[in-house]
Amino acid sequence: MRIAAVQHDIVWEDREATFAALAPQVGRAAAAGAELVLLTETFSTGFSMTPGIGEPQDGPSAAFLAGQAAEHGVWVGGSCPEIAPTGGEGGGDVEELPHNTFVLAGPDGTTHRYRKLHPFSHGGEHERFRAGEGPVTVTVGGLRITPFICYDLRFADVFWAAAPDTDLYVVVANWPAARRLHWQTLLQARAIENQAYVVGCNRVGTAGDGTEHVGDSRIISPMGELLATAAGVETILLADVDAAEVAATRDRFRFLADRRG
């Protein structure tokens, strides 16, 4: 399967302007043969803590992903602030906090969701977003895909737990330039220790709060080899991944069976 990671800028809290900028990039990725196109964390708004930033489930950001998937006949994913339906009574004037939700939309109209397990408490995300409940793995074209979001990358245990059922980890992010070495190193470590592909899709540009982002998106093999990389400009990374390569690597080096705990 050919994977595309779209390393893009975001118009701060302006969904429509960002959609207009991203649509041609998704089209270019699809034209290059990508079957799975990845956008970044909070791809449509930036990493905003503004009250009321949350959307209803299947709101404008999810609708954009679904529309692009249908138009180009590919899978398209990225995260957005979504308020999960509760089925209960309304909360009156109490603000409903969203989840930071990775939405994966398929060309057949199906949609899968993963909600970020680890809100970024250092930046106050835990005060503005709810935490998710567990990892989610989706099989697309015979490839088992487990998505995570930004700060989740620092928690190796959740990657370890998902490893037996994962061929490809997806990590979408708004990772800051100030800690770019951590991003680069941890992505490669997660690939090596889990013997799986890892795609890290990070934004570029300056956020509305002044945070600088330099991308450093990359696609990494189960042996930790860098298949595609990018630095500080908008671009599209492409690489072919194969579940058989994951199985062969794990058969050749049987490390996962020796894990404890």
More confident residue, 186 or 231: 186
Distance of CA 53 to the CA centre of its chain: 19
What are the pLDDT digits (tens) for 179-219?
A: 999 999 999 999 999 999 999 999 999 999 999 999 999 99
- Band (94; pLDDT cuts 50, 70, 90): low
Is residue 53 exposed (0-12), middle (13-18) or buried (19+ Cβ within 10 Å)? middle
User: What pairing do the DSSP bridges indicate for beta strands 55-56 and 138-140?
Assistant: unpaired
**Using one digit for the tens of pLDDT, what is the confidence trace for 153-168?**
999 999 999 999 999 9
Maximum separation of any 2 CA atoms in the chain, in Å: 58
Whole-number Å distance between alpha carbons of 4 and 245 = 18
Q: Among residues 55, 125, 150, 201, which one is catalytic? A: 150
Burial class (CB in 10 A: 0-12, 13-18, 19+), 71: middle
Catalytic residue (choose from 35, 82, 116, 125): 116
Domain 2-83+96-258 has CATH 3.60.110.10: yes
Which two tokens mark 195?
């013997």
Instruction: Name 212's Cβ contacts closer than 8 Å, sequence gap at least 6.
Output: 176, 177, 178, 206
Q: What was the pLDDT predicted at 90?
A: 47
What separation in angstroms does the CA of 259 have from each of 70, 83, 98, 151, 187? 41, 37, 35, 23, 20
Tell me, what's the pLDDT at 261?
A: 59
Residue 125 annotated among the catalytic residues of the structure: no
- 7 neighbors 235 (Cβ within 8 angstroms): yes
Selecting among 41, 55, 82, 125, the annotated active-site residue is: 41
| 41 catalytically annotated | yes
Amino acid at 112: H
The verdict on whether 150 is a catalytic residue reads yes
What confidence score (pLDDT) does residue 123 get?
Answer: 84
Token output for 209? 């709060």
Distance in angstroms (rounded) separating the CA atoms of residues 235 and 228: 11
In order of 118, 124, 172, 212, the CA distances from 121 in angstroms are 8, 5, 18, 19
β-partners of residue 143 are 140
What the block records as the tokens of 155 is 């928690």
